[in-house]
Structure 1
Amino acid sequence: MSDASARTGSQPWLLSFPSIALFLGLLVVPLALTAILSFNVFDSMAGTQDEFTADNYIEILTDRYYFELFLRTALMSGGVTLLCILVGVPETIILSRMQPRYQGIFFVMILGPLLISVVVRTLGWSILLGREGLINRALVELGLIQTPLQLMYSMTGVVIALTHVMLPFMVIAVWSTLQKLDGQVADAARSLGAGSFTTFRRVILPQLLPGILSGSIIVFTLSASAFATPALIGGRRVKVVTTSIYDEFLSTMNWPLGAAIAILLLIGIACVVMGSNRIIERKFKQVFS
């Protein structure tokens, strides 16, 4: 009996071993090696040394340049997340109220960008955002501006392109939550005299919060770690953490410093996401209780 119990208890571990091994091999081990590399000494003449030091982290944490770099990345990610909420939530609600035959068409149109390489999408935006691009030419011909706007190689252009890239993730997260809502609850609120705005604020929005929060976490994380869009749209004029890591690894060949920046980016994203999640949930509980 004890042997049978032991075999039964070990079965879950045996069945999950392939996924655990894959997780360790593809995520934990590379992160551990990167963390170790971040403590290596770097010499401009001899390259990476086998000695260990914390100077890389001290340099990043004490240099104002890196503080502005991380702040710029956080503001960029926060702006993209806010725009995705403002556009994605109403878009998903409208989509849910469409007739089924139109719902599928528009859903494919919204999620279509996910089927295209992020590099191809970004190159398309670089054509639209150029000084002679479609957006500037349309604004000039409409008389809204006199001279073309500087959208390429600017933070504005990066945020616009990233919002387009990340919007489907917000729509998917909110859509999955929206499908679980009971429409009769909103109807009951209206029958009791609540207006459309009050019904949305007190009944629908609290139920959508899990989807909005999960979508915000996904969008913020992917925006902060995005490389192709900031590199192609922002160029050398808009430096963010990911492009700085790229420069350290491939331009200056200072791998330990680049690894230290990457580890701090990972820690920063984890802290911001967990902290924001707790604060927002606590505030919304106070508002809607």
Structure 2
Amino acid sequence: MSNSISVVDTPIDSQEHRRTQTKKRLIPLWLLIPALIAILVSFVIPLIVLVRMSFNETGPATTLVQAWSLSTYTRAILDPYYWQVIFNTLKLGLVVSVITIVLSYPIALFLTKTNSKWKGFLFALAIGPLLTSQIARTFGWIALLGNEGAVNSALLKIGLIDTPLQLSNNFAGTVIALVEVLMPYALLGMISGFSRVSTELELAAGVLGANPLVRFWRITLPLSLPGVFTGFLLVFVLTISSFVTPHLLGGGRVHVLATEIYDEATQTLDWPLAASLAVLLLILFGILVSAYQALTKKLGA
């Protein structure tokens, strides 16, 4: 015959247990506080100030008039010049993104699939340019693409051209420089999204008689599309928000939203208009991110 002893929690023990569980649940929130404060100070508050500034008006002699007005947004939306600036921004983003993805895709796919002992070194070499300032790299491209730069000098020396090509202070030079500057970001975005690319599926297709082109078109490319879209979005967003390269290599002839915001804020001192253009750029970012999320969800389904 065995004796059974039942233990009944007292109200005090139950309260202590709930108190302990509450403290455990609060630990992650306490750990998030420094990050939340940093986001609040560095992003949320400046964003609120920016939006508030966009509703002000510009008075005579570029004086700032406190108001709640949509006049700056009306100026930005109705003026054909700013529509051209927006078009130039989107055009630059699209051209740079397509060229960057096309050039980066084979490298990203190789780095994902290779088993070489040099894989780590090659990966570090591919993203190594990120260790150099974008300003320094842009000045390097100015020296390379100028009328007396290395590119034109080499082409003239070997007789391929008679006069120097205009590769700087224009749209073409800006595209060339931004492609090189943003390729590491495209590689990082695509490599992180190539996890669905399966070598086993490719081998199985090869066993069933599919040639390399069919294997790539039917298996590798569809599975790698999420990574491609991630890299494309990353490069596109960085391009349309880029200021240094269009400002320096464009030579004042490539007008995009970032350079226009800078000019309005520092030269014409029209801060409300600059703020409204910045808000429009943020709205454009939001549209792009929403489209990306809808596309990736559709591919995932």
Same fold (TM over 0.5): yes
Could you give the per-residue CA deviations for residues 126-176 of structure 1, whole angstroms, max 9, x where no partner exists? Answer: 001101111122223333333211111111100110010100011112223
Amino acid at match of 1:272: L
Q: Secondary structure at the match of 1:51?
A: coil
| 1:43 has 2:59 as partner | yes
* Equivalent residues in 2 for 1:78-93, closer than 5 Å: 78-93=94-109
| 1:194 has 2:204 as partner | no
* Residue in structure 1 matched with residue 290 of structure 2 by the alignment: 274
Tell me by how many angstroms 1:115 deviates: 0.5
Rg (Cα) greater in structure: 2
Q: Secondary structure at the match of 2:223?
A: helix
* Equivalent residues in 2 for 1:1-289, closer than 5 Å: 1=15, 2-45=18-61, 47-96=63-112, 100-178=116-194, 181-279=197-295, 282=298
* Equivalent pair of 1:213/1:277 in contact (CA under 8 Å): no
Distance 2:118 2:158 in 1: 32
Q: Which moves more between the two structures, 145-154 or 273-282?
A: 273-282
**Structure 1 residues 7 and 95: CA distance shift in structure 2, 3 A:** closer
Amino acid at match of 2:63: G
Ranges of 4+ aligned residues in structure 1 off by more than 4 Å: 96-99, 279-282
Could you give the per-residue CA deviations for residues 98-123 of structure 1, whole angstroms, max 9, x where no partner exists? Answer: 56344334323321210001100000
List runs of 5+ in structure 2 lacking aligned partners.
1-14
Distance 1:99 1:8 in 2: 44
Distance 1:46 1:263 in 2: 20
TM-score normalized with structure 1 length: 0.91
Q: Secondary structure at the match of 2:67?
A: strand
* Equivalent pair of 1:224/1:269 in contact (CA under 8 Å): no
**Structure 1 residues 16 and 281: CA distance shift in structure 2, 3 A:** closer
**Structure 1 residues 184 and 98: CA distance shift in structure 2, 3 A:** closer
* Equivalent pair of 1:245/1:262 in contact (CA under 8 Å): yes
Tell me by how many angstroms 1:46 deviates: 5.9
Tell me by how many angstroms 1:180 deviates: 5.7
Amino acid at match of 2:250: G
Q: Which moves more between the two structures, 197-206 or 61-70?
A: 197-206
Count of residue pairs the alignment pairs up: 285
Could you give the per-residue CA deviations for residues 224-276 of structure 1, whole angstroms, max 9, x where no partner exists? Answer: 11111001100211111111111111101111110110110111122133225
**Structure 1 residues 14 and 233: CA distance shift in structure 2, 3 A:** same
* Equivalent pair of 2:104/2:183 in contact (CA under 8 Å): yes
Amino acid at match of 2:261: I
**Structure 1 residues 105 and 279: CA distance shift in structure 2, 3 A:** closer
* Equivalent pair of 1:170/1:215 in contact (CA under 8 Å): yes
Amino acid at match of 2:169: Y
* Equivalent pair of 2:62/2:270 in contact (CA under 8 Å): no
Distance 2:248 2:128 in 1: 21
